[in-house]
Amino acid sequence: MEYVVLFILLALIAEILGTIGGFGSSVFFIPIASFFLDFQSVLGITAVFHVASNLSKIALFRKGVDKKLIFYLGIPAVVFVIIGAYFSNQVKTELLEIYLAIFLILTSIVFLVFKTFTINPTIKNSIIGGILSGGIAGLIGTGGAIRGITLAAFGLTPAVFIATSAVIDLGVDVSRSFVYWYNGYLQANELYLIPFLVVASFVGTYIGKRILNKVSKERFKVMVLTLVLITGVSTIVKVIFS
């Protein structure tokens, strides 16, 4: 029982950080869940947890949705998350995680050090960001950091950033949840965790929103990139120790 309490508490912290970072809790939740569950179960439970997480973000940040970004970034993300999820049981995820971690570390450092350097907020870059974030989310369970970097290029306010990311992520998570279920990743003996995770997602989003009310757009961008950097480093550490 003590492990369940610890698991839910860590999920709550992941949700708070994911809300503050603007790209979802999975980048923090997956390394945490990996200590308690096997990798395929982690993919399944993360997808369900993220559905609740995104619904709570949409409810609390609903006034900030950017419909154009949802179209150009969201549709490619949904298409490629289905492809990635389908092949998730045929790919060596450790190597893919290392490549992703290196990409996140280098990209976040470039944006943090060279503050004037930006990705052009074009339709092409939106589509590429959607393809990469969706495909990687399907394969290893998390692509929010890549979507975060893409959205950061558009200079969005925290509310618009989070609401838009949540709507896109909801489509991604619902899609991959069906594929993970088809692949047998959702185990009946782990479903009891879902109600606790739903509560953690709503409470964590609410706390994160209260924190963000005091953060400027410039500071928010730095926070996003810093969390992306931490995610990259933690991913490498997790792969090495596992």
Identify whether the C-beta of residue 67 lies closer than 8 Å to the C-beta of residue 183.
no
How many angstroms separate the CA atoms of 123 and 24, rounded?
A: 23
Q: Would you say the C-alpha torsion 112, 63, 18, 35 has a positive or negative sign? A: negative
pTM: 0.71
Q: Nearest Cα to 200, choosing from 76, 17, 3? A: 17
How many angstroms separate the CA atoms of 107 and 41, rounded?
A: 30
How many angstroms separate the CA atoms of 148 and 129, rounded?
A: 9
Domains of the chain by residue range:
2-241
Q: Nearest Cα to 161, choosing from 216, 86, 231, 85? A: 216
How many angstroms separate the CA atoms of 169 and 184, rounded?
A: 22
Per-residue pLDDT in tens (0 to 9) along the chain, 242 residues: 667 888 889 889 888 887 887 666 776 777 777 778 777 787 788 888 888 888 888 888 777 677 888 888 888 888 898 888 888 777 776 777 787 778 778 877 877 887 766 667 778 888 888 898 888 878 777 677 777 777 777 777 777 888 888 888 888 888 878 888 887 877 777 778 888 888 998 898 889 888 888 877 677 778 777 877 887 787 788 777 76
| DSSP-derived 3-state class of residue 192 | coil
pLDDT the model gives residue 1: 61
pLDDT the model gives residue 167: 85
pLDDT the model gives residue 2: 64
pLDDT the model gives residue 118: 66
Identify whether the C-beta of residue 11 lies closer than 8 Å to the C-beta of residue 147.
no
How many angstroms separate the CA atoms of 145 and 168, rounded?
A: 13
pLDDT the model gives residue 203: 92
pLDDT the model gives residue 16: 87
